[in-house]
Amino acid sequence: MGAIHAKINMKKIVASVGLVALGASALEAAPPELAADSAKPWSVSATLRGFYDDNVNTAPSSSAAKRDTFGFEVSPAVLFSWSLEQTVINFGYVYSYKYYDKPPIDDTDHSSSTHIINALLDHSFSERYQIRVHDSFVIGQEPDTLRSGNAFTTFQRVSGENIRNSGSINFDAQLTPLFGLELGYANNFFDYDDEGGNALTPSLSGRLDRLEHIIHLDSRWTILPQTIGVFGYQYRQVNYTADEVIGFVSTGPLKSEHRDNREHYLYLGVDHVFSPELTTSVRVGGRYVDYYKDPTGDNTGFGPYANANVKWQYLPDCFLEGGITHDLNATDLPGDNGRSFTTDQESTVIYASVKHRFTPKLHASLVAQYQNSEFNGGAFNNETEDYFLVGLNAAYDFTRHFSAEVGYNYDNVNSDVGGRSFDRNRVYIGVTATY
């Protein structure tokens, strides 16, 4: 039973990291963390921040829509963490209310609200069988909180009550000492507030509202006690749900559903535990995609797939995580040129996050990401787009229940497509009370 408890403790560390590593903007609205010696399974907090945003509309520098704004944010949060011998349950909720002295261009008033909910259930039936259920729900406006994975589908701030939900369930079975299976299902749902567009000005709902189903089955082979070899298959189904016209092609109106696609993946991988504090996971393979509703004719293709990640808890309350992914990714560009249309983008993402505690009272975090994307089909076929973000946050704990923080976020987009390149600087300072 001790082995089970060790696994649960490691998963609890990873789960806690996942609750706070939500992207550069989300660092401004991260849920509180339970102290290591906390006797209660919950904590609540309230944060007050002032901020400055030099490009709240994420507009090009030459655009009249570029607008800077000052404002303040009020953000209450709650975190619950319950751990038993074989079960861990985590729940975090963050609400953020922001007031802008100059409102974003599409907002109806000077304020906006964001909701972030993360929940996790991790249970070991025995040393051989475990299940992990996770869900992340967001109502928000910033692109990094609205994404479901590492890759961005749009870099624009989007006004309104935009919804993203990502859920997953994974079941692990160690069938023999040397062989095991992992069966998993994930579901991503996107519903943007901007709707009712047309072929000339398609709405964001028309371009990006979708439902994604992902099923995978991995065979896991014990090579060494600390090394697991993986051979796996994944099926991914993407259905666009807005039922809107987003352009024209030679066969007639281009609708949201014409972007629907199916993907089949085969990959090899390895999971290696260097120590309880340092782990790595690598998957490399290929994929086949079929745009089975393409009105312009058969549209299929092959491509590479990669997903690598390393996690290192190098000191107590200090961690480093980084990785690289390469896969197909939805895009907010419709890109019809009469003959074909932009189906999606192929994105390579390199990311890293680090949290370090310099003293018992002073700690800081860094989130950085680079994304290179190439568009597929239509008017923007083979055009590329680069995105870079960095988020810095430093906090000082005056007492166990009161702290102050300061932070800086930077975003930069360099695109071959006209009117999409921009940079954005945000700074904030605030105080947090936690109980």
Confidence tier at 106 by pLDDT (50, 70, 90): confident
Phi, psi of 10 (to 5 degrees): -65, -40
Strands 69-83 and 245-249: unpaired
Whole-model pTM: value is 0.89
Locate 416 and state its tokens.
């071959």
> In this predicted model, which residue has the larger pLDDT, 22 or 122?
122
Residues 313/277, Cβ–Cβ less than 8 Å: yes
CA separation for the pair 387, 377 (Å, rounded): 20
Checking if the pLDDT of 16 tops 80, the result is: no
CA separation for the pair 354, 364 (Å, rounded): 8
CA separation for the pair 360, 32 (Å, rounded): 16
Phi, psi of 247 (to 5 degrees): 165, -170
- Model pLDDT, residue 107: 78
Confidence tier at 27 by pLDDT (50, 70, 90): very low
* Helix, strand or coil, per DSSP, at residue 135: strand
- Nearest to residue 351, comparing CAs of 310, 383, 385, 316? 310
Task: Supply the DSSP string of 174-221, one letter for each residue.
Answer: E-SSSEEEEEEEEEEEEE-S-----SSS--HHHHH-EEEEEEEEEEEE
CA separation for the pair 30, 365 (Å, rounded): 12
Which letter does DSSP use for residue 146 in this model? H
Checking if the pLDDT of 20 tops 60, the result is: no
CA separation for the pair 388, 370 (Å, rounded): 5
Q: Any idea what the CATH number is for the domain that residue 196 is in?
A: 2.40.160
3-state secondary structure string, 358-405? CCCCEEEEEEEEEEEEEEECHHHCCCEEEEEEEEEEEEEEEECCEEEE
**Bridge partners, 407 (sequence order):** 393, 428
Least trusted range by pLDDT, from 61-70, 166-175, 240-249, 402-411 = 61-70
* Helix, strand or coil, per DSSP, at residue 50: strand
Confidence tier at 109 by pLDDT (50, 70, 90): confident
Q: Look-up: residue for tokens 């400055």? A: 52
What is the residue range of 267's domain? 2-434
Residues 110/103, Cβ–Cβ less than 8 Å: yes
* Average pLDDT over every residue of 344-358: 96
In whole angstroms, how large is the CA radius of gyration of the chain?
Answer: 22
Residues 291/257, Cβ–Cβ less than 8 Å: no
CA separation for the pair 148, 142 (Å, rounded): 13
Number of folded domains that form the chain: 1
- Nearest to residue 145, comparing CAs of 394, 389, 347? 389
